[in-house]
Structure 1
C-alpha cells in the first residue's frame, strides 16, 4: 500500500466529543454534531483523536462513538479513527472497532508519556501495522507525545506497508518541508498551513490537506481546499485568513491552547455557535470567564452569530 491506495484529501476536522454536565457521554449531541459536519461538506472527520479526549473514553464509549459515526457518515465522508494508546494491542482493539463501524483508516501517534526511542517507535508501528484491519495515518504530535519524529524516522515508518498517510504537527517548518520533499510521493501528507505556502504545496501535489481542530467555522474549512481545486486562489486566501485567525488567537505556535486546553477552547466555540460542544472531562477544566470571552471575541470578529457568553457552560 501507499498514497495511491486511498483517496484522502482536503479538510478533516478532529472532532470534539460532547459530554453532559455530569460527565456522561452525550450521544444525542454527538449525533447532531456528526450530521452538521456532513451538512457542512467536510471531506472527512477524525473521531476520538486528541481533540476528542480519547484519553478519558471507556471502551464502551469509544465503540458507541465509532458506531454512530459509521451509521451517519460512512460512505459520505472519509472516516478516520483515533486509536492512540500505550501499547499495540490496545490500538489494535480500537482499530477493530473502527473497521467494524465502517471507518476508512486509523490515526496513530507514538505511545504518549513514555517518550520512546526511534527504534521503539518503529517497532510499535510495525506491531500495529502487522495486524491492523485498516490503513494507517502516522501522527507526529510533539505536544502530546514529547517526541518530534525526525524526517529520517518518518521515512523509515513510511516503508511499512499499511502506512499510507502522515499528519505532521511539528512546530518546526524546516522539518515539515524536509518531510514533504522526501515523502510526498509515498504518503498522503496532512498539516499544511492555510496561507500562500500551504496553497503552493497543495497546488504542487506535495501535500493533501489538513486534519484540523474542531471545524468551528463550518464549511469555511473544506471550502478553502475546494476553492484551490476550482482555481479560485483569492477566495482560498480569504478563507485561509479566517482559519489562521483562530489559530493565532487561540493557539500558540506549538499548537497548544493560549488560555486553556484546546479541547475546552473548541468546545466553548461550538457552544457559542449553538452546536453541541459541552464540558470537557477532568482532569481538563472548562474555560473561565476570561477564556470564554476571548473565544467569543474571535467569533464576533469573524462575523459569526454567537450566543450570550453568560450562557456558555
Structure 2
C-alpha cells in the first residue's frame, strides 16, 4: 500500500458521537448526523476520533458505531475509523471490526500516556501494520499523546507497509511544513489551515486535505477545497475565513479549548444549529449556560465574516 492506494482528499471531519443525557449513544441522532454530513458534501468522515470521544466508549459501542455508520453512508464517501488504543492488539481488534463492516481505513495515534521513544513508535506502527488489513492514517496528536512527531520520525513511519496518510495536528507551523515537504511524495497529508498559507501548500505543492473537528458549518468547510479544485481562490478563502473564525474563537493553537472542552463546544454548536450534537459523556462536562451563550454569539458572528 501507498498514498495512491486511497482516494482520501479534501475535508474529512472528525465528527461528534451524540450521547443522550443518561450517557447512552443516541443511535437515532447518530444516523441523522451522518446523513446530514453526507448531504452537506463532506469528502469523507473520521469516526471515533478525538472529537468523537472514543476514550469513553466500550469496544462493543465502537464496533456498533462503525457498523451503523457504514450502513447509513453506504459507500458514498470514505469512512476512516479511529482505532487508537494502548496496544497494537487492541488497535487490531477495532480495525478488524472496521474492516468487517466496510470502512476504508483507520486512524491511529500513539498510545496515550506512555510517551514512547521514536524507536518504540516505529515498532508500534510496524506491529499495527502487521496485524491489520486496512490502510493506516497515523495521527500526530501532541495534546493527547504528549509527543510531537518530528519530520525524521514521520519519514521513518512513511516507509511502513500499510501507512498511507498522516493527520498532523502539531501546534508548530515549522514542524508541520517541514514534515509536509519530507513526506508529501509518500503520504496523504492532512491538517492544512484554511487560509492563504494552507491554500498555497495545497494548490502549489500537492497538500491533500484537512481532518477538522465537527463540520459545524456544513458545506462551508468542504467548499474550501471544492473552490480550490475549481480554481476559484477568492471563494475558497471566503469559506476559509469562516472556518478560521470558528477555530480562533473556540480553540487555542494547541487545539485546547478556550473554555470548556472541545467536544462540548462542537456539540453545543451542532445543537444550536438544530442538529443532533447531543451531550458529551463523562468525564467531559456540558458547557455552562454562559459558555453556551458564547458559542451562540460566535455562530451569529461567523455569518458576517467575509474575505478581506
Q: Is the TM-score greater than 0.5?
A: yes
Preserved contact between residue 74 and residue 102 of structure 1 (Cα < 8 Å):
no
For structure 2, the residue ranges without an aligned partner over 5 or more in a row are none
1:59 deviates by 1.3
What stretches of structure 1 move > 4 A for 4+ residues in a row?
A: none
CA distance in 2, matches of 1:276, 1:101: 24
For 1:194, the equivalent position in structure 2 comes to 194
2:73 matched to which residue of 1? Answer: 73
Which segment drifts farther, 197-206 or 228-237? 197-206
CA-CA distance at 1:64 after TM superposition: 1.1
The match for 2:223 is 223
RMSD: 0.9
Q: Is the 8 A contact 2:157 2:163 kept in 1?
A: yes
**Hey, what's the Cα distance between the residues in 2 that align with 1:201 and 1:303?**
27
Mapped to 2, the partners of 1:117 and 1:290 lie a distance apart of 42
Query: Which residue pairs with 1:158 in the alignment?
Result: 158
TM-fit CA distance, 1:217: 0.4
Q: Which digits, 9 at most, give the CA deviation of each residue in 1:122-178, with x for residues without a partner?
A: 111111001211000010000000010111111000000110001000000011111
1:33 equivalent to 2:33? Answer: yes
8 Å contact 1:109–1:140 — kept in the other structure?
yes
For 2:296, the equivalent position in structure 1 comes to 296
SS at match of 1:298: helix
Q: CA deviation at 1:118?
A: 1.0
> Within the alignment, does 1:145 sit opposite 2:153 as a pair?
no
Match of 2:103 in 1: 103
Residues 75-112 of structure 1 show CA distances to partners (whole Å, capped at 9, x for unaligned) of 20010000000000000000011111111011000001
2:14 alignment counterpart:
14
Residues in 2 aligned to 1:43 and 1:32: alpha-carbon distance in whole angstroms: 17
SS in 2 for 1:268: helix
Equivalent-residue separation in structure 2 for 1:213 and 1:228 (angstroms): 20
1:289 positional shift? 1.7
Deviations 1:266-292 (CA, angstroms, capped at 9, x unpaired): 000000000011111111111112211
Q: How does 1:42-57 map to 2 (within 5 A)?
A: 42-57=42-57
TM-score, normalisation: structure 1: 0.96
Mark the runs of 5 or more structure 1 residues left unpaired by the alignment.
305-313
Residues 231-250 of structure 1, C-alpha deviations (whole Å, 9 max, x = no match): 11000010000000011000
d(CA) in 1 for partners of 2:139 and 2:6? Answer: 17
Q: CA offset at residue 303 of structure 1?
A: 2.7
Query: Equivalent residue of 1:185, what SS?
Result: coil
Residue 206 of structure 1 deviates from its aligned partner by 2.9
TM-score normalised according to structure 2 size: 0.97
Match of 1:175 in 2: 175
- CA apart distance, 1:205: 3.8
